[in-house]
Structure 1
Amino acid sequence: MAEKTLEEIAAAMKGIDIAMLTTVTEDGSLASRPMSNNGDVDFDGDSYYFTYEESRMVADIEEEPAVTLGFAGDDGFYVAVSGDADLIRDKEEFEAHWNPDLDKWFEDGIDTPNIVMIKVEADRLKWWKGEEAGEFTDF
């Protein structure tokens, strides 16, 4: 295992906007979908994503909060994160993680009806780049 700090891994993650968010469905199947970090990529063990209340992933998380995130950089840098997801419906929390790029998906900003923020709290992060690899479990 290579020795890199979480800060070094977070810096490398800044260039990766899209993560594949995987949830467990009601029948135990896995469901994945691309989610944008929307520029909120100062990774410290927590990740934030916005979606609509009626989405399947919200229903999945309400039943089973265990999720995974997969990131793939153009330079052969890969990250897998596992943890638990929380659903946040507080507008003050939305403001802390809002980016103007989100306005194209949520036209009324944080006042968009039925918006919800997903907070993923990591319990494990594994990364790879070429023959180097490492893991974090202490956030």
Structure 2
Amino acid sequence: MAEKKLADLSDQMRKIDIAMLSTHSKGGNIAGRPMSNNGEVEYDGTSYYFTYEDAHTVGEIEADPKVALAFMGEKGFAVAVEGQAKLSRDKAEMKEHWSPDLDKWFKDGIDTPDIVMIQVDATRVHYWDGEDEGEIKL
């Protein structure tokens, strides 16, 4: 089968509700946590997630911005992303990437106190789709 392009993966990733975001903790261990994957957005190698300022995730990204994302779909479809994360506290940037579905976790939307946006820019994407697998370097 021909190598998939990022647009092909994007179509399949829309069906996945949760991504696992992994960071490096203070002790050098890997820490993972589920994050809402906005299925309405076309994946172009950059992902956006929201959290609170006091979450361990924020401090871990500040200490080491190299992160990983894992997406698990149906029928053996999975995507592993390596990337660089950066944090934003800019309300205008947050508004560009906000989805009404996030209101269930952040009752005041982007005006929720201590909200932080995590941007993950992929450097490598590996996928599995049944027996087909491949890698996209960005």
TM-score normalised per structure 1:
0.95
Give the total of aligned pairs.
138
> Hey, which bits of structure 1, 4+ residues long, moved more than 4 A?
none
Q: For residues 51-102 of structure 1, what are the alpha-carbon distances to aligned partners after superposition, in whole Å with 9 as ceiling and x for unaligned?
A: 0000000010000000000000022100000011000110001110111111
Match of residue 17 from structure 1: 17
Contact 1:70 / 1:81 at 8 angstroms: preserved in 2?
yes
Alignment RMSD: 1.2
Deviation of 1:38 (Å): 3.2
Contact 1:66 / 1:82 at 8 angstroms: preserved in 2?
yes
- Rounded to whole Å, the distance in 1 between the matches of 2:38 and 2:128 is 23
Give 3-state SS (helix, strand or coil) of 1:10's partner.
helix
Aligned 1:44-55 pairs, distance under 5 A = 44-55=44-55
Match of residue 93 from structure 1: 93
Match of residue 69 from structure 2: 69
- Rounded to whole Å, the distance in 1 between the matches of 2:129 and 2:2 is 10
1:130 has 2:130 as partner: yes
- Rounded to whole Å, the distance in 1 between the matches of 2:39 and 2:7 is 16
Unaligned regions of 5+ residues in structure 1, if any? Answer: none
Match of residue 26 from structure 2: 26
- Shifted more, 3-12 versus 78-87: the winner is 3-12
Unaligned regions of 5+ residues in structure 2, if any? Answer: none
Deviation of 1:125 (Å): 0.1
Contact 1:2 / 1:132 at 8 angstroms: preserved in 2?
no
Contact 1:2 / 1:134 at 8 angstroms: preserved in 2?
no
Deviation of 1:39 (Å): 3.2
Could you tell me which amino acid in structure 1 is paired with residue 92 of structure 2? Answer: E
Could you tell me which amino acid in structure 1 is paired with residue 77 of structure 2? Answer: F
Match of residue 39 from structure 2: 39
Could you tell me which amino acid in structure 2 is paired with residue 98 of structure 1? Answer: W
